[in-house]
Amino acid sequence: MISRRSLLTAAVAAAATGGLAACAKDGGGTNTGNGNGKITLGFSQTGSESGWRTANTKSIQESATAAGIDLKFSDAQGKEENQIAAVRSFIQQKVDVISFSPLKVTGWDTVLKEAKAANIPVILTDRGVEADASLYVSLLGSDFTEEGKRAAVMFKEICKDMAAVNIAQLEGSTGSAPAIERTKGFAEAIASETKFKIVVTQTGEFTRSKGKEVMEAFLKSHPEINALYAQNDDMGLGAIQAIEAAGKKPGTDIRIVTVDAIKDGMTALAAGKINGIVECNPLLGPQLMEMVKKVKAGQTVEKRIITIEKDFYQKDAAAALPTRQY
């Protein structure tokens, strides 16, 4: 069965020689699928390191079924070499479209060229790569710099009544793309108003316990802190415990904005302990499937597609909470 299908795919590919390579870009393709009418998508996930990632995986699997797309799913378990091997095996299996969330930004040139040589379009999700942009069709995911800017906008909104805002910043894992870009975007956007000042910044490694430990020290070395920007919900949740232990009221004495909008974060937002959350949406499955179909049909897609995301203030939390999936 498999060999018959791959033979058919090979025959189709051979018939449309040359035209296919450009079809994803200029939309002039004649690609008609792999013979059984069902699109095959090979997807390589980074691993299952967090609740966010689990929700991401679930979204992709469910929306593939819903869209009638045949999904070949591979989990790289946190290793880039597994991911490269998975992409190679997708090429050999002659899937219609390859998609993956690159673990690291570098090391992708060779395998992306192989995919291009085999006329298989590649869509990146969640994170980008440092490779020639012609080697992939599109990048679907959050814009981390933009998330930092959105956090700054939220601060301007929730701190309207304050004369001086002394912000403590909990950064993500040092060197990771979200940590670098969320710091950059925030610093750029907050600078426009002089009452905002980032008084102290340190990594909380994206975890609750580190977020709590770092905030404990911040509160003692910088008693003037009256705002907290945590680059994910978990660090913010840990910091809230430290703030309460120091006898201050999170959300009132110290205004808090976090990024992600996981269920626990939204619960704290609804309870008034967080003032605002910038959503970083893992549920990009439906958008991805739509893109796969477009690419397959030879239509043009944008080089960079931002996932649909919202900003949540306290008033929005109660309504959004019951439908929160992750």
User: Interface with other proteins by CB under 8 A: which residues?
Assistant: 48-51, 53-54, 171, 174-175, 200-203, 205-210, 212-214, 216-218, 220-221, 234, 237-238, 241, 245-247, 264
Query: Is 217 within 8 Å of 203 (Cβ atoms)?
Result: no
Compute the distance between CA of residue 214 and CA of residue 30 in angstroms, rounded to an integer. 57
Compute the distance between CA of residue 281 and CA of residue 146 in angstroms, rounded to an integer. 13
DSSP-based three-state secondary structure for 308: coil
Residue found under tokens 């426009």: 192
State which residue, 153 or 271, has the beta carbon closest to other proteins.
Answer: 271
CB of 118 to other proteins, least distance (A): 33
CB of 99 to other proteins, least distance (A): 21
CB of 206 to other proteins, least distance (A): 8
State which residue, 237 or 261, has the beta carbon closest to other proteins.
Answer: 237
DSSP-based three-state secondary structure for 206: coil
CB of 247 to other proteins, least distance (A): 4
CB of 171 to other proteins, least distance (A): 6
CB of 22 to other proteins, least distance (A): 41
Residue 254 DSSP one-character state: B
Phi/psi of residue 62, nearest 5 degrees:
-65, -40
Strands of the sheet containing 276-279, edge to edge, are 196-203, 165-171, 227-230, 255-260, 276-279, 311-313
State which residue, 23 or 214, has the beta carbon closest to other proteins.
Answer: 214
CB of 195 to other proteins, least distance (A): 22
First to last CA, the chain: 38
**Cα–Cα distance list, 80 to 72, 171, 209, 237 (Å):** 18, 24, 27, 30
Measured CA angle at 187 (ends 151, 162), to 5 deg: 60
Query: Is 196 within 8 Å of 165 (Cβ atoms)?
Result: yes
Residue 250 DSSP one-character state: B
DSSP 98-143: EEE--SSSSS-HHHHHHHHHTT--EEEESS--SS-GGG-SEEEE--
State which residue, 137 or 168, has the beta carbon closest to other proteins.
Answer: 168
State which residue, 222 or 310, has the beta carbon closest to other proteins.
Answer: 222
State which residue, 37 or 247, has the beta carbon closest to other proteins.
Answer: 247
DSSP-based three-state secondary structure for 48: coil
State which residue, 64 or 262, has the beta carbon closest to other proteins.
Answer: 262
CB of 281 to other proteins, least distance (A): 17
CB of 24 to other proteins, least distance (A): 34
Residue found under tokens 């990146």: 124
State which residue, 12 or 246, has the beta carbon closest to other proteins.
Answer: 246
